[in-house]
Structure 1
């Protein structure tokens, strides 16, 4: 469907991808989107290790081959040696969207002082918006609650479908000139 939002969800974790423990990132993202989106959507999910080349290949596949409009990663954004999600994301970017990283950290700093250690980034690759989210379900929800209002208009601007949200969860913001007229 032309008006269906295709979301790529990528959980990046050595231990979860090898079966040491259950991934909690993708279930948290599915739950948030099920509550937040009012327009049609579907998802493509990937669970991969903290390997820069694997992350890059996965992001390229989801953007260029699968055709996702939005790709969200969870995990791998801290200062630890194995945390390479931002490097992989920047390596495949056509445009960097620094406001997303700034806002994600600002949101998280309301909850934990260690948010300053996060290196999350937002980028555009072709017609795909890619955002690095934290790995913990509570932090994923807090971050999406704090940034998603700007995502639908960004998707509009890069040629994606018109996204409508459940305003009880998050109200999409668009300039008046970009909003669809309300049905009569």
Structure 2
């Protein structure tokens, strides 16, 4: 089963072309290799609440992505607004994803407790915030990647909650 996946990078420097977006490359490779994902949209926006929200809405409502993975904007900096933007556009939270990622990541790097990533549902789209660094993306996505196909099957109605 092919999943429609969108990748959104929140980065001031990346949006100005001052930094290569290696975190999105890690997401792309894992999604294509591990869950048979097809990237239907990819963009870099500055760390601005309105721009992040607009991109998430467009990716969900117009591109009909099954899954949106964000990278960047989840730290403690005053410019890090990705979780807040995500929480403003979702209908329901899915806290297990960020909880699992933080729990596993803290074992490797105690600073992972500073990550504020969120996750939730907008219609039939699952949105998950990942850290901004390629290493953080890899560690976090590896923790949850096995659960994504089942979550997406349930969310999109391709499987009931208790089918297995």
Q: Give the SS at the match of 1:77.
A: coil
Gap change, CA 1:78 and 1:40, over 3 Å in 2: closer
Distance in 2, matches of 1:123 and 1:12, equals: 17
Q: In structure 1, which of residues 58, 66, 69 is the aligned counterpart of residue 55 of structure 2? A: 58
Task: Report the TM-score, using the length of structure 1 for normalisation.
Answer: 0.83
Residue 161 of structure 1 deviates from its aligned partner by 5.9
In structure 2, the residue matched to 1:49 is 46
- Point out the structure with the larger helix share: 2
CA distance in 2, matches of 1:66, 1:150: 23
Q: Does the 8 Å contact 1:121/1:132 carry over to 2? A: yes
2:101 pairs, out of 89, 95, 104, with: 104
List alignment gaps of at least 5 residues for structure 1.
163-173, 179-184
Residue 44 of structure 2: SS of its match in structure 1?
A: strand
1:89 aligned to which of 80, 86, 91: 86
Q: Partner of 1:44: helix, strand, or coil?
A: strand
From the superposition, tell whether residues 40 and 112 of structure 1 become closer, same or farther in structure 2 (CA, over 3 Å).
closer
Q: Using a 3 Å threshold, how does the CA distance of structure 1 residues 73 and 161 change in structure 2: closer, same or farther?
A: farther
Q: CA deviation at 1:105?
A: 0.6
Task: Tell which structure's C-alpha radius of gyration is larger.
Answer: 1
- Contact 1:104–1:146 (8 Å) recurs in 2: yes
Q: How far apart, in 1, do the equivalents of 2:4 and 2:37 lie?
A: 9
SS in structure 2 of the partner of residue 129 of structure 1 = strand
Q: Say if 2:32 and 2:38, in contact at 8 Å, map to a contact too.
A: no
Deviations 1:8-51 (A, max 9, x none): 000110001101121112111112123213x4633310111100
Match of residue 74, structure 2, among 74, 77, 82: 77
Q: Which runs of 4+ in 1 moved over 2 A?
A: 39-43
Shift in CA distance, 23/161, structure 1 to aligned 2, threshold 3 Å: farther
Rate the CA distance shift 1:116–1:7 in 2: closer, same or farther, 3 A.
same
Question: Which residue of the partner structure matches residue 31 of structure 1?
Answer: 29
Counterpart of 1:110 in 2: which secondary structure?
helix
